[in-house]
Amino acid sequence: MILRMHSNKDQSFSPNAGLEHAIKLLQQVSFEPENLPKKCPNSGLGELEIMDLLAPHVLGRAARLDRSDALAHMDPPTPWITWVAALWNASLNQNLLHPATSPFALEAEKLVIDWLTPFFGMNGGHLCSGSTLANLTSLWAARDAAGIKRVVASKASHLSIKKAARILGLSYEEIPTNSKGQIDTEQLNNISDACLVLTAGTTATGSIDSLKLAGQAKWTHVDAAWTGPLCLSPSHAHLLEGIEKADSVAVSAHKWFFQPKDSALVMFRDPTKANSAISFGGGYLTSPNIGVQGSRGAAAIPLLATLLAWGRDGLVERIDRTMLMATKLAENLNNNKRIALWAMPTTGVTVFRPLTCRTEELHKRLAEGMFSSCMLDDETWLRSVAANPLADIDEIISKLNDELN
């Protein structure tokens, strides 16, 4: 059997009118999904037809994080400039493992790292696909660069810290939290030989551990997945004072940097020391592979595009705007006798529960995506996370009050 090569260019790999149709579908408001095939089709249906088939599922059945009443999670809407950069990235499929295939992508990452690390008191680092990986990378550096054998973290630390300790074969010590949701410093024993993990913005309450502890352990890692971008805000950077004394810092770019999944920064105060412990080379590699990931995409390009389009001021304005939303919501709740407010928010996370009905009942009556829920001291609380700069906080307060009435 002779296979014949077609001389005509395969149009599936070339931009055409299909991209214009994709944008039209992106702007469509309502959809009627059709059933997808139960088995992989032998014959393809064609790109245009598949867009019409998939759009009602992909676009119509997803949570809209840009809704005016969406304030439930640490997942913001993304600016359209990141969609453009992500499209370019997808069309090129660059791999940062191989510099020859991604010369500008590597340059873009270095530029973004050089711009951002000084805000955290760090001196270098790289991007990876999320703070779970950034935390793992940091603890790996702590083990192999500093000889760490145990990890100490609060009960409220992210589950990725315990995961990383287990993967790396490190012992894990969990410290209770105080009434503010922070690591209880009075229950800390000798940490001179440990990696102390401080959480800057716990998932449930947004609490920041005392960063005065940074530098007191053999290695200090700060998981600033949520609050890290506050370091760029003149109004809120003081909340993370002390972070510069950490040995490593993790920040999720797909949170308050408004980037698409998956994007995070892992940063080191001494990148030469850290990188020497987490780098591998040889064989087919023309340069050392730093970090956990081998092949990875050009996540820095959407972030670079955002920082260039908005500037620091534009980014900070949107963060500060959402922080004001959280304050306004909390003040309203605090004045409502039918509500118990867990605490006034300091990092955009507001936690509360109704006093006149079960939390689960109120949650069910509210629009999906308005609030999320969390467990604190064996009780269910509602949780608002100010990650959406397009939210209408007055509308949210009004809808909540209507349900309480």
Rg of the Cα atoms in the chain: 23
User: Considering the entire predicted model, what is its pTM?
Assistant: 0.95
Residue 107 CA to chain centroid, in angstroms?
A: 23
Question: What are 389's two structure tokens?
Answer: 């700069």
Side chain identity, residue 155: K
Contact 151, 194 (CB under 8 A): yes
The confidence score (pLDDT) of residue 368 equals 94
Partner residues linked to 353 by β-bridges? 340
The confidence score (pLDDT) of residue 8 equals 67
Which of 22, 232, 263 lies closest to 116, judged by CA?
Answer: 232
The confidence score (pLDDT) of residue 1 equals 41
Question: What are 127's two structure tokens?
Answer: 């991007």
Topology agreement, domain 80-308 and domain 312-404: no
CA angle 23, 70, 32 (to 5 degrees): 45
* Separate counts of helices (H) and strands (E) for the chain: 10, 13
Give the position of tokens 């793992």.
Answer: 136
> What are the average pLDDT values for consecutive 10-residue runs of the chain, which has 405 residues?
56 84 90 93 92 95 95 97 96 91 94 98 97 98 98 98 98 97 96 98 98 98 98 98 98 98 97 95 79 93 98 98 98 97 98 97 97 96 98 98 93
Which stretches does DSSP call E strand in 210-311? 219-223, 248-252, 264-268, 279-280, 289-290
Spatial neighbors of 137 by CB under 8 A, at least 6 apart, are: 128, 266, 278, 291, 292
Q: Where are the domains of the chain?
A: 80-308, 312-404
Instruction: Specify whether domain 80-308 bears CATH 3.40.120.10.
Output: no
Contact 222, 198 (CB under 8 A): yes
Instruction: Specify whether domain 312-404 bears CATH 3.90.1150.10.
Output: yes
